[in-house]
């Protein structure tokens, strides 16, 4: 019992070091429970106009987590992250890198589609700081539960919501990795450096 409570505390500390701003409370439960709780969340006003909550999706024990800024129109309609134009771009990149999408966990910092109506068209509108803060607990819960070894925020690089996470701290892997993988990491880095040389 004591070991699990220590692990929870260590896990919470690890998640909080990844997030640039503290999270008051990290919801508990498995992915299914978190999805259900997120559907019932009314912490900000985005739920009123969104079709549905777009919670993260992917492998339950994914080693890699990709985080987007917020769902778009297609994600809002289908209820899944990265299924619109950004998802198609991601699929091409994953195909080039020979990475199976099914091995990843995909999510967004904000869980509802924020938009502005222009005629009948719903145009994407960036979530404000309060809306991002309201959703931060869900991202923290996903990080704490999955404990991915690699977290990518490439989709956040140009937005103010990149401040949700300290990009340098987030880009580094904070979770303890098995020793046998250290040799593989060193070998991979050397191969990458060789490819980059002219």
Whether the predicted model's global pTM rises above the 0.95 cut = no
Q: Where are the domains positioned within the chain?
A: 2-196
Class at the top of the CATH hierarchy for domain 2-196? alpha beta
Q: Return d(Cα 122, Cα 130) in angstroms, integer.
A: 21
- Give pLDDT, residue 179: 47
Judge contact between 91 and 101, C-beta under 8 A. yes
- The CA-based angle 155-94-161, given to 5 degrees, is 10
Residues near 160 by beta carbon (within 8 Å), at least 6 away in sequence:
126, 129
Q: What does the mean pLDDT of the chain come to? A: 78
Judge contact between 143 and 18, C-beta under 8 A. yes
- Give pLDDT, residue 125: 87
- Give pLDDT, residue 106: 95
- List of the chain residues with pLDDT < 50: 1, 156-180
What phi, psi does 104 have (nearest 5°)?
-100, 165
């Amino acid at each position: 019992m004591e070991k699990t409570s220590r692990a929870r505390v260590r896990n919470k500390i690890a998640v909080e070091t990844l997030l640039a701003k503290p999270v008051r409370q990290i919801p508990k439960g498995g992915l299914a429970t978190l999805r259900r709780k997120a559907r019932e969340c009314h912490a900000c006003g985005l739920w009123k106009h969104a079709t549905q909550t777009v919670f993260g999706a992917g492998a339950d024990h994914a080693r890699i987590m990709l985080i987007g800024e917020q769902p778009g129109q297609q994600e809002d309609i289908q209820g899944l992250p990265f299924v619109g134009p950004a998802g198609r771009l991601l699929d091409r990149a994953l195909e080039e890198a020979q990475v199976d999408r099914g091995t990843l966990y995909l999510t967004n910092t904000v869980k509802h589609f924020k938009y502005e109506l222009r005629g009948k068209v719903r145009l994407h509108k960036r979530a404000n700081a309060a809306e991002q803060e309201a959703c931060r607990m869900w991202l923290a819960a996903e990080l704490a539960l999955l404990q991915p070894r690699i977290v990518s925020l490439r989709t956040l690089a140009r937005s103010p919501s990149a401040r949700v996470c300290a990009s340098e701290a987030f880009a580094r892997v904070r979770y303890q990795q098995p020793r046998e993988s250290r040799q593989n990491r060193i070998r991979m880095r050397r191969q990458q450096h060789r490819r980059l040389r002219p």
